[in-house]
Chains A and B, each alone.
Chain A
Amino acid sequence: DIQMTQSPSSLSASVGDRVTITCRASQSVGTYLNWYQHKPGKAPNLLIYAASSLQGGVPSRFSGSGSGTDFTLTIRSLQPEDFATYYCQQSYTMPYTFGQGTRLQIK
């Protein structure tokens, strides 16, 4: 299975900050990399697919980049509603696998 490793596992930031979350795959996944936002008790929400494509309805302050094994999710100018846990997921090969999550907390 392809292992997905996110860093950091948790992060404290303030409203208005720019934050970057990193995801590394144990082998190349091309651009078959997706990012999700998850708030407690809610359905996870697709933010980015194909490494850098913004899902419809997602604010443009979210962006993704990378290819191969190294990927980043950037949130420009954090808003209060952005405090959540973020997961990367590879869809290059089955079984599809997820990173362990990055919990973004308010500083």
Chain B
Amino acid sequence: QVKLQESGPGLVKPSETLSLTCTVTGGSISSYYWSWIRQPPGKGLEWIGYIYYTGSTNYNPSLKSRVTTSVDTSKSQFSLKLSSVTAADTAVYYCARGPSGSYLHFDYWGQGTLVTVSS
């Protein structure tokens, strides 16, 4: 069973960079796309972007200027960096496998980690 687990600081100061890592177990990180998705308190889900195991990426235009992702296949991990954060970036951040398959769904998710932006 594929499992994903997010890790990283739960508190980030305004204007600093949010950094999260997702560790994949129970399956290979190769040959798949891997995404970050977030949910601000009381709001809906927002797709941040994906990284392919080769390192190619695609980001939501609304965040593209501040997002960087990377992948380390040797550790079965992929990571997110979001720069210049503000309170609006406070959210539960999820990592997920996908878009997968012919219909580009997200078939495995982590439990999510709350990141609060505050001084």
Contact = CB atoms under 8 A, between A and B. Distances in A.
A95 B62 CA distance: 9
Interface residues of B, number: 25
16 contacts: A31-B103, A32-B103, A34-B105, A36-B106, A43-B4, A43-B108, A43-B109, A43-B112, A44-B94, A55-B105, A89-B45, A89-B105, A95-B60, A96-B99, A100-B43, A101-B45
A31 B58 CA distance: 22
Contacts, number: 64
Interface residues of A, number: 25
A17 to B, nearest CB: 25
Interface of A: 31-32, 34, 36, 41-46, 49-50, 53, 55, 87, 89, 91, 94-101
B44 A50 contact: no
A79 to B, nearest CB: 21
Nearest to A33: B103
Contacts of B104: 32, 91, 96
Interface in B1-54: 4, 43-47
